[in-house]
A and B are shown apart, each in its own frame.
Chain A
Amino acid sequence: MTLAIPPQSGLVRFVRLIAVALARLNGIEDESIDDIRLATGEACNRAVAANRTAALDAPVTVEISGGRGLVVTVRDRQPLPPANGMQAADLLRQSAGDPDGAAADDSSRTSWFDDLFDDSVLPEVIGLIAGLADDLTVQTGPAGTSVTMVWRSAG
């Protein structure tokens, strides 16, 4: 299943609901369901903020596939230099809240999310997602960033 949602924070909960429903259909055990809900929501939050930071109305796309577990890929359209893994995570941290996508020192880095929040002490979201998914792949590039999370079903 592929979803395309406008970059609006109020829609993220619906993606969470769908991810949880598909997880249950694919036999994911209960103890992973909360992780899937949280990680999917966090990845969508990040992607929504990324598109808005880049001043894009482009939708955030979410691909969810099952089989022997669940794979959720969330993509935004904020252009960044190409990178994988830890380098990609560093780029995302630097670009959060910076409309130009350029590296910013900590003193100027703003909140991840829209300018409602002036409390800039927020946890590093990619690190949070890494603690929730069985596998995590992050790739940045000129077409945007993809965050792929995998949960394996037991047995």
Chain B
Amino acid sequence: MPSLPNLDLERTAVDLSLDTRTQGEHTVVQITGEIDVYTAPKLREALIDLVNGGHYHLVVDVERVEFLDSTGLGVLVGGLKRVRAHDGTLAVVCTQERLLKIFRITGLTKVFSIRDSVDSAVAGS
């Protein structure tokens, strides 16, 4: 069987951008684009870097996320585990029903603090 071509997908634009800022004691990560099996590693690395840099109170804002699948959820769970190892917190800002649905179906509404704004997430921690 002929070998498959190397599609060199790394040269394709990754449809995920991250903007990080500080608000009080919290670090807010605003995500734009799609979080799926291909783009989730970028988010994972960003969360790992933040925790390694001493940022233990994170607010992940997915209001500009157009798509989120179970790999994205797995990365968020991983981020939560990492901050909790330092007695930290990770809250999610999400009001999009189509994203809230996947949190509900997977039962992760019981795991994450899901807020309707960054200010609410910061105040609630």
Task: Check: B18 CB closer than 8 A to any chain A CB.
Answer: no
CB closest residue in chain B, given A41:
B69
A8–B74 touching, CB < 8 Å: no
Q: Report the separation of the CA atoms of residues A13 and B1 in the bound assembly, to the nearest whole angstrom.
A: 26
Q: Which of A9, A12, A119, A131 contacts B74 (CB 8 A)?
A: A119
B105–A121 touching, CB < 8 Å: no
A113–B4 touching, CB < 8 Å: no
B36–A12 touching, CB < 8 Å: yes
Task: Check: A98 CB closer than 8 A to any chain B CB.
Answer: no
B37–A111 touching, CB < 8 Å: no
- How big is chain A's contact interface, by range? 20 to 34
Q: Report the separation of the CA atoms of residues A41 and B37 in the bound assembly, to the nearest whole angstrom.
A: 9
CB closest residue in chain B, given A120:
B74
Task: Check: B81 CB closer than 8 A to any chain A CB.
Answer: yes
B3–A57 touching, CB < 8 Å: yes
Which residues of B in the span 66-125 have a Cβ within 8 Å of any Cβ on A?
67, 69-71, 73-75, 77-78, 81, 98, 101-102, 105-108
CB closest residue in chain A, given B103:
A123
Instruction: Identify 14 new A-B residue pairs, CB closer than 8 A, beyond the known A57-B4, A123-B70, A123-B73.
Output: A8-B9, A10-B12, A13-B34, A41-B37, A45-B70, A45-B71, A48-B37, A57-B1, A116-B41, A117-B71, A119-B77, A121-B81, A123-B74, A128-B105
